[in-house]
Structure 1
């Protein structure tokens, strides 16, 4: 939390404890061990800026009704030397505390002193956390689910970083197993269809997308029909060797364009080459957690919460995708990560329990793996669902979206709904340059502040540091409400990190922009007496700092004019 908020909470606790002790000495409360109680910021600030349940929490210890305890505390309460100017009791024994000007001036001073570091904390205690997200199948182009996962995962990683975690971003490339075999088969058939008189037909369960045909044509353009004269195995190997790197390169280019920068693109094939997949099978076998049936090796998943036991190695000797997945997560832990966060599509919900159970089986803990399930995206235009790109006439891919919609809008709008909620992405809204577009609305607030500062500078007015007495001139409700919101920023980041919910910060900054516009419409900056003008300029600068910190954290541009 911000320093001022932290101090305020400590002050409430201290004055309550001192008042309880004083009341016990005076015989107003019986001698008892001081109970634990909470100090919180109420949602409705008309009930006070901070509230405590101390009277209710101590009812058992003092064997008294909470209202009587609250009255005794109030009679012995000393607020001198604190941020607070008064306290009141309410309801069944709540005690509410109201802030004075010192708190508000300290918040603004802290923001301008910390600047880009304002909002950051050591809450995560530098624990090493890996966020693995998108991890799209490299056998085809990335889709809207990947677009949502990219924004969600990247922004979550940024929130965790701001909250004091040591964060690593990773993309897992499934370049081995069944899907790669299917990729090779599909490419081979599409290639043969370009040259053979009686080519084979694509099986129903193969890849039918235009991208497969495009790759086959591209290979044929460069190499002609040379693969018509080799074995099927050689043809597939050559086509996969040609197509897979191109697909992965396209994925990397799309992610870079999306401003998502991974620390590592991890290849599944490396796990197989290095023997880590079969090593997991051996590890589980040595622990007595496998058995053989019908020529296959099975894992006793039911011993770790699974609905049924799972095949690790098929009768043909090939490990399953699940085995590779266990090996990959073991590899993550072996690299020293304390916490793993995976972002998966909601269609993988059945895989969650067995994956977490497997962490216990390999000697880690299910609690060290958190899986965020992300619901689907529906693209909308003119109020109607849309599936095809206007430009290409094909299904809309991530690359198509980024050609049509500004990256700022995409990253912001994909973080407008929690991961577990269905998301309607409005293509019309995303390109609007007005206050209806949430990211434009927030960016405009920052640009407006920069414009105010430029206009005053042109008249010879330069912002300066204000004294506490000058900042105490900020007494309008709109001013105090804006400062309160600024003060909550660090707590919001910590809350978003706890809940794995970067949407919380998106909403926070929209509300910050709203409160700024409300302040600016109610309180003049230019033309006021110099001390008040400078105090309001300080509030403007602090607001701009927090907006800039949020947008920068989310890799969204921060315009100074619009």
Structure 2
């Protein structure tokens, strides 16, 4: 019996209690909250629904809880239902009912944990979107891991997810990048406001290899040559880095296309016609304060050129025009102001501001030997994705970056992530999976195969029950992670599952030894272990982390 099934049972029992007394059933919540007690001695699961609704229904909480306990206990899947404190209700499941959880996992396999709670949602998930002026830094690397994991989690709940990279190939930063390339090609120092690092020299050399006469071209043609080739080379490197990191995008959207296609001009004209723009001091301003922004924003500057927000407005309109019902923007810590202005842009365009959702990620720092790591081998002063991957590998990097809420600044301890010990969270989880895979190989060598036909009512050891109940929390964990946009919940869950398995394995022998014969309990425990292995694999896959068979 899963927590969801128990919640339905408790609610239907509550309906029976209220209807038998002629009381209002409308006081019941749509979904009853079921939780695991902190103290296992209190039972397998608990609910506070009696405290929530009893007084509204006209009953004392303990009286309602006792009536509810009596009703729930009629179900053969419930071993006991007891009232505690002012009206809490604690449940113990029958062993056979707990075993049903294992059968569900084995039947669903890789699909276990998926749901349709977000079915019908067409989500545009834009993340990383680093300027093509240098390698991806640590902040972008965090988004590459978290954004990809969030996309997987949202898709697991039935949403259609499009991963999109906004390719900033217009603006002043591109001009600085091009001037830096030209300076490097000439053997000169980078401009004061330009970009430095070995990668600039490498790209400049490749431009000259492809176009040996580039430096002798007229100034405008030279600039365009270094621009077109340099950006393509840089962006190719960015794409490769992301792919090697396990993050691929469905759409690479070029900012410059919004201007060349006239979408920016059309969006501006539409806002003028609707009265959402006004003219002042020779510039055109968005009335964004009317939609919750702290100040109105310049859309068209006094010299007639579009401000950056003009592209944002056109880009949002383009996304909505492509049929997206929700548009995620995953931005850095210095972009808090974008939340209000993007929602204001949506409202000004005539859309519900809720179509825009902005996630803000905090800084990432690398630490080694207790000291900050500040210098990159290739990019100079900025630590890059390649630096992190070279130090700890893709799996450890992705896991560590998704393990924490993006609201918090993250210090990545390189020494810890290199350890092959239980102190290293990703090693701890992956080792549990490898241990289970090894167990299955050993069972195969003995000719032992277990499936959902095993007598799972034999799994009565407290550690077995704890492992089964932890497995049962996977679906709820995914639902909550999708609802709150928090894939770190999956990582923390996997650690609790690995812990439950390691504790089970320490006290419960699974395979027969020597001349011993396999017993029904052997097959029941093999089924439990396969269910645990499957859920670990499913969870790691959602984080984009491998589930090794051997370690």
Question: Secondary structure, in 3 states, of the residue corresponding to 1:453?
Answer: helix
- How many equivalent residue pairs? 543
1:168 paired with 2:162, answer yes
Match of 1:504 among 489, 493, 496: 489
RMSD over aligned CA atoms reads 2.2
8 Å contact 1:13–1:39 — kept in the other structure? no
1:33 paired with 2:24, answer yes
Deviations 1:154-191 (A, max 9, x none): 00100101111111101100001222223233333444
Give 1:289-308 correspondences, 5 Å limit: 289-308=276-295
Give 1:89-128 correspondences, 5 Å limit: 89-128=83-122
Tell me the CA shift for residue 203 of structure 1.
4.9
1:55 paired with 2:50, answer yes
For the residues of structure 2 that align with 1:72 and 1:253, how far apart are their CA atoms?
62
For the residues of structure 1 that align with 2:539 and 2:68, how far apart are their CA atoms?
41
1:264 paired with 2:284, answer no
Match of 2:426 in 1: 439
Tell me the CA shift for residue 551 of structure 1.
1.7
8 Å contact 1:20–1:73 — kept in the other structure? no
Change (3 A) 1:449 1:363: same
For the residues of structure 1 that align with 2:84 and 2:65, how far apart are their CA atoms?
9
Match of 1:87 in 2: 81
Change (3 A) 1:227 1:8: same
Deviations 1:306-337 (A, max 9, x none): 22221111233221111101111111111001
Match of 2:480 among 487, 495, 500: 495
Change (3 A) 1:64 1:454: closer
Match of 2:174 in 1: 180
Question: Secondary structure, in 3 states, of the residue corresponding to 1:103?
Answer: helix
For the residues of structure 2 that align with 1:61 and 1:560, how far apart are their CA atoms?
54
Change (3 A) 1:312 1:80: same
Match of 1:535 in 2: 524
Match of 2:65 among 60, 64, 70: 70
1:204 paired with 2:161, answer no
Deviations 1:349-404 (A, max 9, x none): 12221111111111112211111100011011111111224688764321233233
For the residues of structure 1 that align with 2:214 and 2:478, how far apart are their CA atoms?
58
For structure 2, list consecutive stretches of 5 or more residues without a partner in the other structure.
none
Give TM-score, length-normalised by structure 1.
0.91
Give 1:145-156 correspondences, 5 Å limit: 145-156=139-150
1:402 paired with 2:389, answer yes
Give 1:338-357 correspondences, 5 Å limit: 338-357=325-344
Tell me the CA shift for residue 229 of structure 1.
4.9
Tell me the CA shift for residue 104 of structure 1.
1.1
Match of 1:461 among 443, 448, 455: 448
Change (3 A) 1:68 1:207: same
Change (3 A) 1:463 1:178: same
Give TM-score, length-normalised by structure 2.
0.93
Range moving further from structure 2, 490-499 or 382-391: 382-391
Range moving further from structure 2, 42-51 or 258-267: 42-51
For the residues of structure 1 that align with 2:102 and 2:496, how far apart are their CA atoms?
18
Match of 2:470 in 1: 485
For the residues of structure 1 that align with 2:87 and 2:291, how far apart are their CA atoms?
47
Give 1:545-556 correspondences, 5 Å limit: 545-556=534-545
